[in-house]
Amino acid sequence: MTYTPMIAGSGLVGWQMLQSTLESQRTAFNKSAEITRDSEYFKEKIGTINSAEELANDRRLLSVALSAFGMDDQIDSKYLIRRVLEEGTKDDDALANKLSDSRFTVLAEVFDFEKTVSYRMQEEGFADPIFAAYEKKVLADLEVKLAEPEYVADPEYAALFETQVKRNIEISREYFNDNVGGITSPDELLLDFDLMQVVMGAFGIEDRRGSKALLKRVLEEGASDPNALANVLGDKRLIRLADAFSFDKSVPTNALQTDNFANNIVEQYRWQRFEDAVGEVDPAIGTALQFQRSIPDLATSDISDSAKWYSILGSTTSRSVVETALSLPKGFSQIDIDKQVEILKDKMDRRFGVKEVSDLEDPGTLRKIVHSYLLQEQIAQSSNYQSNQIAITLLSTIRYDQDR
């Protein structure tokens, strides 16, 4: 049984009650049997999916994926979803780009099945410990060199030599940091003399300089397999080298197999299901909750301010909130879209001081818009109720007159 959110009252009263208990209610909701089962299944299985067809054929996985983007209504559109995911968004003629529903575009961008290869060298900070070991080795060698009689006897020459060595270290540091991340194979590494100069010094394998075939095999096989050459040779220096670069672990993967992909989708799924559950209790509060969560992401996104305004109007939830909060007329959505943006920007500035969508990142500004939306919704509901009561009274009178 899924937890039903508790909302005491409608409008601002219900909203404020929900806000004060949001974390505890979300925790209880996420512990619901259905949410827990589906979340765990998704985390366990999604990393094994390699194609749009595989995802479309697993209804349970697909259900979580679609729910995360508020697309539960598309669960039976198996062929459509598969085609959207297969075509992606890079081609202007891709189906997702032709559909008026922007949810398909987001879905296709997130569930990217194109294979990519991640290399250890591309990880942040990879170069630091290797170069630090190289620098330590060079400075130690320098100290030994400067202690030799000829350098001791000529301090001026010794100082110049020391300065040049340290300058070379900085040149090597810059080159290593700029280029090691672009290496994608043992061959590329072995053919780059300057990179290998650092690598050999860092791992203390200068005596292996002429053994390119051996080094290539050591790098290719890595150090995970006990039968890998580095392990067979028992040379700890080669084992550290193979483990550091881990070419054997650089296998093609898709976006679904990257770190935190499953956790991010599950978190979005839980939020969306909770918002849907709130919407079933009170549609206006459910809409406000979706707006409150989604707008800050849009506000801080890298797209242009103009594109952000169009995104607001392209979202059913965001459009509903801002149109209602600003008391825009019902026919507003029927006018030219560029004119809509112009009017929206002017109204948002005048009413809430919002000059750019990035201003919506401010919690205070966002709160004012949500409160205005809920108040307008409450007024509309009250008006409808009063109108209905008048209609019922008139109908009762008509029936009474007829009976007479």
* Average per-residue pLDDT for the chain: 90
Say what the pTM is: 0.69
For residues 56-72, give the mean pLDDT: 95
- pLDDT over 50 (residue 107): yes
Residues 223, 255, 301, 86, Cα dihedral to 10°: 160
Condensed to tens digits (0 to 9), the pLDDT of residues 183-222 reads: 999 999 999 999 999 999 999 999 998 999 999 999 999 9
For residue 118, name the pLDDT band (cuts at 50, 70, 90): confident
Report the pLDDT value the prediction gives residue 392, as an integer from 0 to 100.
42
The whole-number average pLDDT for the span 80-102 is 91
Each residue of 335-375: pLDDT tens digit? Answer: 999 999 999 999 999 999 999 999 999 999 999 999 999 99
**pLDDT tens digits for range 225-280:** 999 999 999 999 999 999 999 999 887 778 898 889 999 999 999 999 999 999 99
Q: What is the pLDDT at residue 226?
A: 94
What local confidence, expressed as pLDDT, does residue 402 receive? 39
What's the CA gap between 104 and 101, in Å, rounded? Answer: 6
Instruction: Say what percent of the chain tops pLDDT 70.
Output: 94
pLDDT tier, 1 (very low <50, low <70, confident <90, very high otherwise):
low
pLDDT at residue number 400: 34
Whole-number Å distance between alpha carbons of 116 and 255: 8
Report the distance separating Cα 293 and Cα 370, nearest Å: 11
Number of helices followed by number of strands (H, E) in the chain: 22, 2
Query: Is 4 within 8 Å of 277 (Cβ atoms)?
Result: yes
For residues 315 and 322, what is the distance between their CA atoms, to the nearest angstrom? 11
CB 30 within 8 A of CB 303: no
